Amino acid sequence: MRRGCYDTGLYGTVKRVNGSFLNDTDSQPRPAPKIIPRAGHRISRAGISKNAVKVLYRLHNAGYQAFLVGGGVRDLLLGRHPKDFDVATDAEPDEVRQLFGNARLIGRRFKLAHVRFGRDIVEVVTFRAAADIEHDDRQHAASGRILRDNAYGDIEDDIWRRDFTVNALYYNIADFSVWDYTSGTEDIESRTLRLIGDPETRYREDPVRMLRAVRLAAKLDFTIAPETAEPIARLSPLLRDVPPARLFDETLKLFQAGHAARSFELLMQFGLLKNLFPHIAAVLDKDTDGQIRKFIHEGLHNTDQRVRQDQSVTPMFLYAILLWHPIRQLAEDLQAHEGVSEADAMLSAATRIVDEQQAYTSFPRRFSGPMKDVLVIQRRFTNKRGSRAIKLLEHKRFRAAYDFLLLRASIGEVDPAIAAWWTEVQELPAEGKRKAFEVKRRRGGKRWRRSGGTGRPSSIAQ
């Protein structure tokens, strides 16, 4: 068991070159971090989850350094209410597991511990070493992307492995102080998002950092520092080296956390959209009247409202918003040039676009199948007469398809009168529905409809 070193005279030099923070690896004495005492910041243990506090104190009482780190510290300093609390320590993963019977080690690229308290998980990360130490257990791809990273070090090394200055603040449970090695507290005050280290190198190590910069800037309403923003458009093709499954997860973080509309605008601004959703990026390049962009903004704005109201959101509807116009345009081309029916053209176009999208961000079938249903149903809303029309109310995707219809109507893509009609008809009693759809009763008050070719009568589901 190692005792934590609190001699702050041993910590790393902070060099700032062209706005970026670099680690000085020479033999010069390394100054201490800026330490903000309890009286100088707004963080209180009352704002930290009780389970995270338990983990911090048990590590501290066992002789290890224990810091709350990352987004939790950042959000507390901003007066926000974090959902997740991460802990950094000089205890190695196996030592953490010995200390906590409820701990589980996970990860290959980064080995860390999850300490479980029922459904609550506190992530405990061992200080990681700087990239230039003698026994660095790091593996890189040819592009510079990190493939493995399990080198352990001290807090003065760990700081250089954090991504942004505002995420590199350490709350010390020993005396409730905040340790700042870069300009984290200053950048929080100025609402600036700044990478630690050389931006191009950091993006090459992990291209997802470009998406993370966009996501945090959108979430926090921060401005991305010029030197942090400059390489993004140029390096955006590196996202093609990232597994599509990981990019699917990042897409959900971008668009399902309450700041989707702003995230989309930043993806466009920094040239990242074409490497995530190339079809909609291509369509937007020809969107001369801005209607497609207006549609997407309205759809994502509605998604943000649902998140703020604690309502459910689904990747199915998100992808429907982002892929609708590419699919629609391809369907129109298939109809014009191959002579296929409207329904077959829409289904074929949806299948083709979804299959091609898989090479960029994975789209699991449990979401893509329902999305296709929602898009194919759109053409059926123009038919308001007969038994087939009334059966649409019974379709398991009707509600999602109807919501999508309302979105289209809100920007004038569909006659608002059609959306209003479907809104009203849902509220009618059974007899009112039959009259609205002009469906006549037959044989004892029931109507006949074909079911599996048998022609047996079936009543209308309410």
Single residue among 196, 226, 251 that ends a domain in this structure = 196
Asked if 63 and 153 sit in the same domain, the reply is yes
Domain-embedded: residue 254:
no
* Shared domain check, 311 and 181: no
Q: How confident is the model at residue 32 (pLDDT cuts 50, 70, 90)?
A: confident
Whether residue 230 is contained in a domain is answered as no
Total domains in the chain come to: 2
CA 183 to each of CA 23, 167, 195, 251, 292: distance values in angstroms, whole numbers, following the listed order:
14, 10, 10, 29, 40
Q: How confident is the model at residue 454 (pLDDT cuts 50, 70, 90)?
A: very low
The CATH number of residue 381's host domain is 1.10.3090.10
Q: Which domain holds residue 63?
A: 8-196
**Residue at 214 is within a domain:** no
pLDDT tens-place string over residues 79-95 = 999 989 999 999 999 99
Joined together, the tokens standing for residue 334 give 């298939």
The CATH number given to whatever domain includes residue 175 is 3.30.460.10
Residues 294 and 391 in one domain: yes
Query: What pLDDT is stored for residue 129 in this prediction?
Result: 82
Which of 180, 196, 212 is where one domain is finished? 196
Residue 175 and residue 272 in one domain: no
Would residue 344 show up in a list of annotated catalytic residues for this protein? no
Q: One of 84, 198, 249, 403 is an active-site residue; which one?
A: 84
Which one of the listed residues 154, 163, 187, 206 is annotated catalytic? 163
Q: Quick check: is 242 in a domain?
A: no
Looking at residue 109, its pLDDT comes to 67
180 and 38 both lie in a single domain: yes
On whether residue 140 sits in a domain, the answer given is yes
Q: Does residue 189 share a domain with residue 285?
A: no
**Where a domain ends, among 150, 169, 196?**
196
Which tens digit of pLDDT belongs to each residue from 189-200? 999 999 999 999
Q: Give mean pLDDT, residues 192-214.
A: 96
Residue 86 is among the residues annotated as catalytic for this protein: yes
Q: Are residues 272 and 157 in the same domain?
A: no
Place 188 in a pLDDT band, splitting at 50, 70 and 90: very high
**Catalytic-labelled residue, pool 75, 86, 187, 373:** 86
What DSSP designation does 9 have? G
Q: Is residue 19 part of a domain?
A: yes
Record the tokens describing residue 224, joined without a space: 């991305």
Write out pLDDT tens, residues 309-357: 999 899 999 999 999 999 999 999 999 998 889 999 999 999 999 999 9
Same domain, 191 and 277: no
Q: Are 241 and 356 in contact (CB under 8 A)?
A: no
State pLDDT tens for residues 389-426: 999 999 999 999 999 999 999 999 999 999 999 999 99
| pLDDT, averaged across the chain | 87
Residue 30 main-chain phi, psi, to 5 deg: -110, 125
Angle between helices 291-308 and 398-410 (to 10 degrees): 130
CB 159 within 8 A of CB 12: yes
pTM for the full predicted model: 0.83
φ, ψ at 125 (rounded to 5°): -115, 130
Confidence band, pLDDT 50/70/90 cuts, at residue 111: confident
pLDDT of residue 27 exceeding 50, the answer is no
- Residues 192 and 331 grouped into a single domain: no
Q: Is residue 260 part of a domain?
A: no
Tell me whether residue 250 is in a domain: no
Residue 288 and residue 188 share a domain: no
